[in-house]
């Protein structure tokens, strides 16, 4: 009886191994360089999302929250100082990251650093995920 049970369990193991592929082999297949379709399709989706968010970024007027962010950003850009206010729910990282496109915009637009694109660019970039 015990020999028959071991035969059954051996047959069941073989059948099970034929039904389900080995997990490391599947992982190895997905990461193989010849199977780069998933990687390329993910990259295309990310680029399309960035294109949709960044192309017409300046077409709408600024709403209230973006205008307040613009005031804080102008103060930081002109004085180099940001005073954190707990009533303002955005931390300083939004403004310190937004100073970068504002400074680049300042170079290319002859001293007019703040623009709608500079205000919205950081949040739109982080929205692409």
- The pLDDT assigned to 29 comes to 58
Average pLDDT for the chain: 76
Closest C-alpha among 114, 121, 36, 29 to residue 70: 114
Work out the angle between the directed axes of helices 116-127 and 92-108 (0-180°, nearest 10).
Answer: 130
Q: SS3 for 24?
A: helix
DSSP secondary structure code for residue 1 in this structure: -
- The pLDDT assigned to 13 comes to 67
- The pLDDT assigned to 93 comes to 83
Q: For the beta carbon of residue 118, count every other beta carbon within 10 angstroms.
A: 25
Dist. CA 57–CA 55, nearest whole Å:
6
The DSSP annotation for 9-45 comes to HHHHHHHHHHHS--HHHHHHHHTSGGGTHHHHHHHHH
- The pLDDT assigned to 106 comes to 79
* 0.85 surpassed by pTM: no
């Amino acid at each position: 009886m015990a020999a028959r049970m071991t035969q059954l369990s051996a047959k069941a193991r073989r059948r099970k191994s034929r039904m389900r592929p080995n997990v490391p082999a599947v992982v190895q297949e997905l990461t193989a360089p010849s199977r780069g379709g998933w990687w390329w399709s993910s990259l295309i989706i990310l680029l399309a999302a960035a294109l949709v968010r960044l192309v017409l970024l300046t077409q709408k007027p600024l709403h209230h929250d973006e205008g307040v962010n613009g005031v804080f950003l102008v103060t930081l850009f002109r004085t180099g100082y940001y005073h954190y206010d707990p009533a303002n729910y955005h931390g300083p990282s939004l403004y310190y990251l937004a100073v970068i496109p504002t400074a680049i915009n300042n170079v290319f637009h002859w001293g007019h650093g703040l623009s709608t694109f500079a205000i919205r660019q950081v949040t739109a970039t982080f929205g692409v995920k």
